[in-house]
Amino acid sequence: MEQHNEECGTRKDLVLYRLQTALDTLESAKILLLAKDYKGANNRAYYAIFHAINAIHAMNGNAYKRHKDAIANFNKEYVKTEIFPRAMGRKIGEAEEIRHASDYDDFYIASREEAERQVSVAEEFIPLVQGYCRNELKHQEE
């Protein structure tokens, strides 16, 4: 069966799509923060980070079904090797814990300060990922 390229997309298309999804999700987190939906803001900030991590994985053709695996691989391949700062790895781990508590713990109360911190982590992380991906895509095209 013949495949048409414009229907399939490229690895670059997937990376760019995931980066855009991360940015869109970050915007949702900011809107929820303004609306005082702190649990929702925590969720969206985490997912913005997660989509950015998946953009990085797409650079190498990797995909993970479970969040735990995607984050563990990111930490192993990109944080331990200091491609991304170790402090960022810790912030991502915290964002995952907070998102989990926000989504699943019945009596968890999310604070404005905490939600602001989570949005701030996503705002810090996504530009780092954009820069990394742009650089890697440029090298792949050369």
pLDDT value at residue 29: 98
Q: Is 110 helix (H, G, I), strand (E, B) or coil?
A: coil
Distance CA 103, CA 113 (A): 17
Q: What is the pLDDT of residue 1?
A: 39
Name the residue among 19, 42, 15, 17 with its Cα closest to residue 29.
42
Rounded to whole angstroms, the Cα distance separating 68 from 59 reads 19
> Which domains are assigned to the chain?
7-71+85-141 (1.20.120.330)
In terms of C-beta density within 10 A (0-12 exposed, 13-18 middle, 19 or more buried), how is residue 101 classed?
middle
The amino acid at 71: I
pTM of the model: 0.91
Provide the token pair at 38: 């702190």
Looking at residue 3, its pLDDT comes to 39
Cβ atoms of 103 and 43 closer than 8 Å: yes
pLDDT (tens digit, 0 to 9) for every residue of the chain, 142 residues total? 333 444 467 999 999 999 999 999 999 999 999 999 999 999 999 999 999 999 999 998 898 989 999 999 999 999 999 999 999 999 999 999 999 999 999 999 999 999 999 999 999 999 999 999 999 988 887 7
pLDDT at 140: 82
